[in-house]
Chain A
Amino acid sequence: IAGITQAPTSQILAAGRRMTLRCTQDMRHNAMYWYRQDLGLGLRLIHYSNTAGTTGKGEVPDGYSVSRANTDDFPLTLASAVPSQTSVYFCASSDSGTGELFFGEGSRLTVL
């Protein structure tokens, strides 16, 4: 059982480029989330989806977009990357949206 798979695990990107971080889960969880984690700060929610076909904005949504075409996949897109988007990105899912979160292994993104 894979749980949550993120890709790529690491990427260096030139500013202005478009980038999509992929996230796939095989647990049939309804809720999925994208967080960024920066040194000295707590996990910050970028976007979330409570169920397939719906998405919502989190605490820091600017510069990011998501889609939820089906239960399993929740890609995060940076339309035009900027250096301030250098971070570690975690995808997570939960069964009900109120319970335990299961995290992917993270994607380390560096924007130069």
Chain B
Amino acid sequence: GQNIDQPTEMTATEGAIVQINCTYQTSGFNGLFWYQQHAGEAPTFLSYNVLDGLEEKGRFSSFLSRSKGYSYLLLKELQMKDSASYLCAALDSNYQLIWGAGTKLIIKP
């Protein structure tokens, strides 16, 4: 079966760095997405990786290892507004997105 695993909840301190991990098992693979979702709001796109390696975009970076079926989202210089759920999703061979349940990130002052 197809599956995405990510931690349910994480806590971090304002100004610190946090890494949110995601492992995936899919029928074929056409890329890995990260979305941010604030409570009561719609998900918004953060990043897309299809090749191995690190993609940096400001305070956020996303890493992919296709051989390990593994990705992480790295958030630096955490701000209170980064408190949100972070959704990992893999694109399978049929170009359908398989979604993880999301990681709720709590930022403490």
Q: Which residues of A contact B (CB under 8 A)?
A: 40-45, 58, 90, 97-106
Contacts and interface: CB of A to CB of B under 8 A. Distances in A.
Contact of B42 (A58, A97, A106): A106
A98 B42 contact: no
A105 B4 CA distance: 24
B41 A97 contact: no
A56 to B, nearest CB: 10
**Ordered nearest first, which 7 A-B pairs have the shortest CB separation?**
A42-B99, A103-B42, A43-B99, A100-B45, A42-B101, A98-B95, A105-B42
Contacts of A102: 45
Contact of B41 (A40, A43, A101, A105): A105
Chain A CB count within 10 A is highest, among B48, B100, B101, for: B101
Nearest to A102: B45
A15 to B, nearest CB: 25
Contacts of B8: 40
B44 to A, nearest CB: 7
Contact of A97 (B33, B44, B45, B95): B95
Given A41-B101, A42-B4, A98 B44 contact: no
B45 to A, nearest CB: 5
B100 A42 contact: yes
Chain A CB count within 10 A is highest, among B31, B33, B96, for: B96
A58 B41 CA distance: 23
A45 B98 CA distance: 9
B100 to A, nearest CB: 5
